[in-house]
Amino acid sequence: MSIEMKPLPYDLNALEPVISGRTMEFHYGKHYKAYVDKTNELIKGTQFENASLEEIITFVAGKPEYQTLFNNAGQAWNHEFFWHSLTPNAQERQIEQELADKIKESFGSLDAFKEAFAKAAVAQFGSGWAWLVYDGDVLKIMTTSNANMPFKTDTLKPLLCLDVWEHAYYLDYQNRRPDFAKEVLDKILNWKFAFENYKN
């Protein structure tokens, strides 16, 4: 058994004009593939050879001797989560009332959430991720660097994420990370996926 590349839930060019097909060719076909391939290379012949990404990450997180494996397995997992955080489907971009109410309770309004999320994404120094998480009984925004993630626990659930590594947006937006964040938040965020994570 090996870690497999998960298929995109839409065509490479389906997120245009927010994210171009050319960006997705590189992001999915090169960067994500490289993380999956390197993870498989690192686990071959080891105790992790038949483990899932989640099992690998849980075991190796925080252990310096496994940092390279964590970096690649973590990035593979993060990217799989990111693909599903986006959608070209208008129905999936509609927010369930229950989650909309929780957003209002936690941030004041949907617009206030978007503003805070974009601000966090832009402020993340260097490479990393911005996340919407359900923590205990409240929604929060957090960022992680490099391959780190808010891994699901009994009290923490990641709902959505935004990749703010430069390879996620540079071909389309160059150094304009704020524009990238705003376009994604306004036009292609998958609220159906967020609600599924919120309920499960």
pLDDT tens, N- to C-terminus, the chain (200 residues): 689 999 999 999 999 999 999 999 999 999 999 999 999 999 999 999 999 999 999 999 999 999 999 999 999 999 999 999 999 999 999 999 999 999 999 999 999 999 999 999 999 999 999 999 999 899 999 999 999 999 888 789 999 999 999 999 999 999 999 999 999 999 999 999 999 999 99
Q: Which residues of 86-98 are buried (b: 16+ CB within 10 A; e: fewer)?
A: bbbeeebbebeee
Q: What angle do CA 194, 196, 200 make, to 5 degrees?
A: 120
- Across the strands, what pairs with 140? 133
Q: Which phi and psi angles does 72 have, rounded to 5°?
A: -80, -40
Q: What is the pLDDT of residue 141?
A: 98
62: exposed, middle or buried (Cβ count in 10 Å: 0-12, 13-18, 19+): exposed
Q: What is the pLDDT of residue 151?
A: 87
What's the alpha-carbon Rg for the chain, to the nearest Å? 17
Pinpoint the residues of the chain covered by CATH 1.10.287.990: 21-85
Q: What is the pLDDT of residue 111?
A: 97
Q: What is the pLDDT of residue 79?
A: 98
**pLDDT tens column, 150-172:** 988 878 999 999 999 999 999 99
27, 196 Cβ separation under 8 angstroms: no
Task: Indicate the length of the chain as a whole number.
Answer: 200
- SS3 assignment, position 133: strand
Structurally, at CATH architecture level, domain 21-85 sits in: Orthogonal Bundle (1.10)
- pTM summary value: 0.96
Pinpoint the residues of the chain covered by CATH 3.55.40.20: 91-199
Is domain 91-199 given the CATH code 3.55.40.20 in the classification? yes
- SS3 assignment, position 156: strand
Q: What is the pLDDT of residue 154?
A: 79
